[in-house]
């Protein structure tokens, strides 16, 4: 069997490798997406005080610290068994909206749009944000400013951009000043305008990539995420819903804290990244593969697929059009990009509502209490999907056990199936063009995997694609940064 490894898969945050295996005829035999760093972060947390968990887990990831801080604070709320002040909850939600906007803007404008605008087969030296600056300077500039708008929300609330350990068990450390509220309101129209420009652009580009839309992780699966009790789009609270490829409810109103009842975590020897699966669809002892009936997807596409509607007018209009194009449930992972843009729009509408809420500048933002319950589960929608933090503590509030299920892990099976589907579609023989390797990498990148977070490795690391012959000889390696 020949082996082709795409390593590093570039423009993905963290370190991972895609291995492609050819058979004797030079056709694709197998493809694997695997992650190679591991630091044992969960074990590292044992013995730490509960109150340190937001800042500690915020440091698990240089890419999405805010998501971990919020999930950790929520798990802490459960252990304190307090009712969060109303404004604290609103401010945390506002922080999460800022995180969604900045992360989605980075994914779309910096990491993925060069492929759409310059082409998957274009010169790899120019297929990046600098190349984008040359051909679409206005769009590139606007993308940077949109991301900055999200970062500003985080900074004005948390006081700093990186590791804002601002959310704590019981609430948040500080409120939003009137001055900062007005500054954010002022920046909002441009953010919304940029989102509309990107949406219109993406819609015109879709017709140019029929093969990619058809092969970038285009398969039936389950979709999982949070919705409100009424079934609307949700990003921070609510209940877990699971739908199938037709949009039919597989499970609804599941308590996030009961996640162990419906989510299993499989380990694979080719990757340190665990593969969570939907437990009820898998028999006891059954092997978990990318073809498993337990495979589910999380993240922007899943959140749009599971909700009845979003609940704000501009985003709902876009969701209606999205469903007219792809059906009640969009199955191609290529549409993660489209879903990200609709979510940015939804976030800007939600940000506007929060900023106009007279309670948002209230200064009562933290409930104080001691340890009242010995276990707490905090669940929130991170940009890449549902994030679970599960803590056990002793009577003194010291951590005795931690389990975290991160979004990128939950998409692990789907990313494996995606890279294989793209490789099967495009690889016709052993002579493989760079543009094909780029497509395989871009298929994984559609999920915007946070490898920093999934492996608990600090900072950013690249990803590679390697191609191996039937004899195990390395034929080609793709590495870009």
Binding at 64: pick from Ni ion, Mg ion, none (beta carbon under 5-8 Å per type): Ni ion
How many helices (H) and strands (E) are present in the chain, helices listed first?
17, 16
Length of the chain: 481
CB of 271 to Mg ion, least distance (A): 14
Binding at 122: pick from Mg ion, Ni ion, none (beta carbon under 5-8 Å per type): none
Our CB check for Ni ion shows the closer of 221 and 454 to be: 454
Our CB check for Mg ion shows the closer of 331 and 404 to be: 404
> b/e per residue, 206-236, with b = 16+ CB within 10 A?
beebeebbebbbbbebbbbbbbeeebebbbb
State which of positions 50-89 bind Ni ion (CB under 5 A). 61, 63-64
Our CB check for Ni ion shows the closer of 20 and 61 to be: 61
Q: CA distances (Å), 71 to each of 81, 176, 254, in order?
A: 15, 20, 17
Our CB check for Ni ion shows the closer of 15 and 439 to be: 15
The binder of Ni ion chosen from 227, 453, 463, 475 (CB under 5 A): 453
Closest CB to Ni ion: residue number = 453
CB of 271 to Ni ion, least distance (A): 17
CB of 52 to Ni ion, least distance (A): 19
Closest CB to Mg ion: residue number = 403
Rounded Cα distance between 362 and 326, Å, is: 43
Q: Is 266 in the site for Mg ion (CB under 5 A)?
A: no
Q: Is 289 in the site for Mg ion (CB under 5 A)?
A: no
Rounded Cα distance between 165 and 58, Å, is: 7
Instruction: Report the run of H or E that residue 267 belongs to, with start and end.
Output: strand 263-268
Instruction: Identify each DSSP E strand in 113-164 by its residue range.
Output: none
CB neighbours of residue 338 within 10 Å: 27
* Nearest residue to 465 (alpha-carbon basis) of 438, 431, 447, 433: 438
Our CB check for Ni ion shows the closer of 36 and 281 to be: 36
Q: What DSSP character marks residue 398?
A: B
Instruction: Report the run of H or E that residue 149 belongs to, with start and end.
Output: helix 137-158
**Sequence-distant (≥ 6) Cβ neighbours of residue 57 within 8 angstroms:** 41, 45, 68, 69, 71, 72, 389, 404
Rounded Cα distance between 159 and 172, Å, is: 12
Rounded Cα distance between 42 and 53, Å, is: 11
Binding at 243: pick from Mg ion, Ni ion, none (beta carbon under 5-8 Å per type): none
* Nearest residue to 153 (alpha-carbon basis) of 225, 103, 227, 85: 103
CB of 231 to Ni ion, least distance (A): 28
Q: Is 450 in the site for Ni ion (CB under 5 A)?
A: yes
State which of positions 48-77 bind Mg ion (CB under 5 A). none
CB of 117 to Mg ion, least distance (A): 38
State which of positions 400-429 bind Mg ion (CB under 5 A). 403-404
State which of positions 25-44 bind Ni ion (CB under 5 A). none
State which of positions 396-415 bind Ni ion (CB under 5 A). none
From 82-90, 323-331, 446-454, 461-469, span contacting Ni ion (CB under 5 A) = 446-454
Q: Is residue 4 within 8 Å of 467, Cβ to Cβ?
A: yes
CB of 13 to Ni ion, least distance (A): 7
What is residue 183's three-state secondary structure? helix
Our CB check for Mg ion shows the closer of 35 and 360 to be: 35
- By CB under 5 A, the count of residues binding Ni ion is 5
CB of 61 to Mg ion, least distance (A): 14
Q: Is residue 127 within 8 Å of 442, Cβ to Cβ?
A: no
CB of 294 to Ni ion, least distance (A): 24
Our CB check for Ni ion shows the closer of 198 and 453 to be: 453
Binding at 403: pick from Ni ion, Mg ion, none (beta carbon under 5-8 Å per type): Mg ion
From 1-9, 104-112, 341-349, 453-461, span contacting Ni ion (CB under 5 A) = 453-461
* Nearest residue to 127 (alpha-carbon basis) of 436, 333, 426, 435: 435
- By CB under 5 A, the count of residues binding Mg ion is 2
Most distant CA pair in the chain, distance: 69
**Sequence-distant (≥ 6) Cβ neighbours of residue 471 within 8 angstroms:** 1, 2
Binding at 61: pick from Ni ion, Mg ion, none (beta carbon under 5-8 Å per type): Ni ion
Our CB check for Mg ion shows the closer of 360 and 405 to be: 405
From 130-138, 178-186, 329-337, 397-405, span contacting Mg ion (CB under 5 A) = 397-405
Burial of 347 (0-12, 13-18, 19+ CB in 10 A): buried
CB of 385 to Ni ion, least distance (A): 11
CB of 288 to Ni ion, least distance (A): 23
Q: 201: alpha, beta or left, given left = phi > 0 and alpha = psi -120 to 50?
A: alpha
Our CB check for Mg ion shows the closer of 26 and 264 to be: 264
CB of 92 to Mg ion, least distance (A): 23
Binding at 308: pick from Ni ion, Mg ion, none (beta carbon under 5-8 Å per type): none
Residues that bind Mg ion (CB under 5 A): 403-404
Residues that bind Ni ion (CB under 5 A): 61, 63-64, 450, 453
């Amino acid at each position: 069997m020949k082996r082709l490894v795409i390593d590093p898969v570039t423009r993905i945050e963290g370190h991972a490798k895609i291995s492609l295996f050819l058979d004797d005829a030079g056709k694709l035999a197998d493809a694997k997406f695997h992650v190679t760093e591991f630091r044992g972060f969960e074990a590292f947390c044992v013995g730490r005080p509960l109150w340190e968990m937001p800042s500690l887990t915020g440091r698990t990831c240089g890419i999405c610290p805010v998501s971990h801080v919020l999930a950790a604070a929520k798990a802490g709320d459960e252990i304190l068994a307090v009712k969060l002040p109303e404004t604290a909850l609103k401010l945390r939600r506002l922080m999460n909206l800022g995180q969604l906007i900045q992360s989605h803007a980075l994914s779309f404008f910096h990491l993925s749009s060069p492929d759409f605008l310059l082409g998957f087969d274009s010169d790899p030296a120019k297929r990046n944000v600098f190349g984008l600056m040359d051909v679409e300077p206005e769009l590139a500039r606007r993308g940077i400013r949109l991301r900055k708008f999200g970062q500003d929300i985080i900074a004005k609330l948390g006081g700093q951009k990186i590791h804002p350990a601002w959310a704590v068990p019981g609430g948040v450390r500080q409120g939003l000043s009137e001055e900062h509220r007005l500054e954010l309101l002022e920046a909002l129209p441009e953010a919304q305008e940029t989102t509309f420009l990107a949406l219109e652009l993406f819609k015109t580009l879709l017709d140019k990539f029929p093969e990619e839309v058809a092969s970038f992780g285009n398969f039936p699966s389950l979709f999982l995420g949070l919705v409100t009790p009424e079934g609307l789009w949700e990003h921070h609270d609510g209940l877990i819903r699971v739908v199938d490829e037709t949009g039919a409810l597989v499970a609804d109103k599941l308590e996030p804290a009961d996640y162990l009842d419906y989510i299993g975590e499989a380990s694979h020897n080719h990757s340190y990244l665990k593969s969570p699966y939907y437990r009820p669809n898998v028999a006891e002892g059954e092997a978990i593969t990318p073809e498993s009936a337990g495979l589910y997807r999380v993240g922007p596409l899943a959140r749009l697929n599971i909700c009845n509607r979003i609940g704000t007018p501009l985003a709902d209009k876009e969701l209606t059009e999205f469903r007219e194009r792809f059906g009640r449930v969009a199955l191609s992972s290529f549409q993660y990009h489209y879903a990200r843009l609709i979510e940015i729009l939804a976030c800007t509408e939600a940000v506007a509502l929060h900023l106009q809420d007279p309670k948002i500048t209230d200064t009562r933002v933290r409930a104080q209490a001691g340890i009242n319950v010995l276990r707490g589960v905090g669940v929130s929608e991170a940009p890449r999907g549902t994030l679970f933090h599960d803590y056990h503590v002793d009577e003194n509030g010291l951590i005795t056990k931690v389990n975290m299920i991160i979004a990128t892990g939950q998409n692990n099976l789907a990313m494996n199936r995606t890279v294989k589907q793209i490789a099967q579609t495009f690889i016709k023989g052993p002579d493989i063009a760079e543009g094909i390797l780029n497509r395989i990498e871009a298929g994984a990148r559609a999920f915007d995997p946070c490898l920093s977070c999934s492996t608990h490795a600090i900072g950013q690391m690249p990803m590679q694609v390697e191609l191996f012959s039937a004899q195990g000889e390395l034929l080609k390696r793709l590495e870009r940064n």
